[in-house]
Amino acid sequence: MDIMQALPVFMLVFCRITAFFVAAPVFSSRTVPNTFKIGFSGMVAVLIFLVYGTKQTVPTDLTYIVFILREILVGLLMGYVATLMFTAISMAGAFLDIQIGFGMANVLDPMTGASAPVTGNFKYAIATLFFLGMNGHHYLLEAALRSYDWIPITGDVFARIQNGNVSEFLIRAFGQSFMIAFQMAAPIIVALFLTDVALGFLAKTAPQYNIFVIGVPLKVLVGLILLLVFMSSLVYSFQQLFETLFKTLENLLGTVGSRP
């Protein structure tokens, strides 16, 4: 295979892998230097090209631009779906912050550079460490590698997008992410709701107490104690979340491409 045939195929692989790392969790963090992202993407692209691309041929006319756009779209879709499942942790923290009273004290998320809830940032950091500890980044790399079995370079991605299968899948994935976030936050939210009910009874039976002065620190104290109590269950929650993440990635590959 000469250089004139190999270079276009390699650039297509490089476009998909780079787009995936731009949007994928952990790899897309602002704390990861851009030079590392590009260099790492190039290294992975070389390995994938040696496995899948040596026997591939692509046209080198103007339709090559369509191939580039398709590969970038596939990489961004994979990274976005993985990040969507990961942001369920931040959504769960936002639900808790509203109930505890931390909603006004948002902080800067170093992963995305955006404003994030305090509890969500705390849970996100723990989830990232747990994700790396269970070699989740290896599974993401494997998903990028296996994507060429499901969605080859010559695959017809735009036809499936036009049919509406991808948009319907993304809507379901977003709903699933929202549901997971609510399930992770539900026990503490229910406990804080019962605290609000108790404060309401206290306001009726003992109106001399200033509920606003008592309620704010009480809800913070109850929320932090419950967060500490349920800390051990976070491992199970994160494990279920990451299993859902990898399953959703597999379903995405099956939706955009064809099962090998």
Q: Which of 83, 78, 58 is nearest to 145 (CA)?
A: 78
User: What confidence tier does 108 reach under pLDDT thresholds 50, 70, 90?
Assistant: low
pLDDT at 163 over 80: no
Angle between helices 88-100 and 231-256 (to 10 degrees): 140
Q: Which of 190, 181, 182, 179 is nearest to 226 (CA)?
A: 190
Question: In the predicted model, what is the mean pLDDT of residues 113-141?
Answer: 78
Model confidence pLDDT, tens digit, residues 56-72:
777 777 888 888 888 89
CB 132 within 8 A of CB 26: yes
User: What confidence tier does 250 reach under pLDDT thresholds 50, 70, 90?
Assistant: confident
Query: What residues pair up with 108 in beta bridges, in sequence order?
Result: 115
In angstroms, rounded to a whole number, what is the distance separating the alpha carbons of residues 85 and 250?
A: 13
User: What confidence tier does 150 reach under pLDDT thresholds 50, 70, 90?
Assistant: confident
User: What confidence tier does 119 reach under pLDDT thresholds 50, 70, 90?
Assistant: confident
In angstroms, rounded to a whole number, what is the distance separating the alpha carbons of residues 151 and 16?
A: 11
CB 200 within 8 A of CB 224: no
Outline where DSSP puts E strands in the chain.
107-108, 115-116
Model confidence pLDDT, tens digit, residues 228-248:
888 878 778 888 888 888 888
CA–CA distances in Å: residue 21 to residues 67, 84, 217, 218, 233: 19, 14, 42, 43, 30
pLDDT computed for residue 23 by the predictor: 86
In angstroms, rounded to a whole number, what is the distance separating the alpha carbons of residues 44 and 103?
A: 41
CB 103 within 8 A of CB 97: yes
- Coil, strand, or helix at residue 259? coil
User: What confidence tier does 133 reach under pLDDT thresholds 50, 70, 90?
Assistant: confident
Query: What residues pair up with 107 in beta bridges, in sequence order?
Result: 116
pLDDT computed for residue 110 by the predictor: 54
User: What confidence tier does 104 reach under pLDDT thresholds 50, 70, 90?
Assistant: low
In angstroms, rounded to a whole number, what is the distance separating the alpha carbons of residues 154 and 149?
A: 11
For tokens 């499901």, name the residue: 150
Low-confidence winner among 148-152, 162-166, 241-245 (lowest mean pLDDT): 162-166
In angstroms, rounded to a whole number, what is the distance separating the alpha carbons of residues 111 and 245?
A: 18
228 compared with 159, residue with greater pLDDT: 228
Q: Which of 23, 146, 25, 152 is nearest to 75 (CA)?
A: 23
User: What confidence tier does 116 reach under pLDDT thresholds 50, 70, 90?
Assistant: low
In angstroms, rounded to a whole number, what is the distance separating the alpha carbons of residues 150 and 135?
A: 23
User: What average pLDDT is seen over the chain?
Assistant: 81
CB 150 within 8 A of CB 257: yes
Q: Which of 46, 48, 47 is nearest to 153 (CA)?
A: 48
Model confidence pLDDT, tens digit, residues 25-47:
888 877 788 888 888 888 988 88
Low-confidence winner among 7-11, 135-139, 141-145, 160-164 (lowest mean pLDDT): 160-164
In angstroms, rounded to a whole number, what is the distance separating the alpha carbons of residues 19 and 8?
A: 17
In angstroms, rounded to a whole number, what is the distance separating the alpha carbons of residues 245 and 258?
A: 19
For tokens 């104690």, name the residue: 225
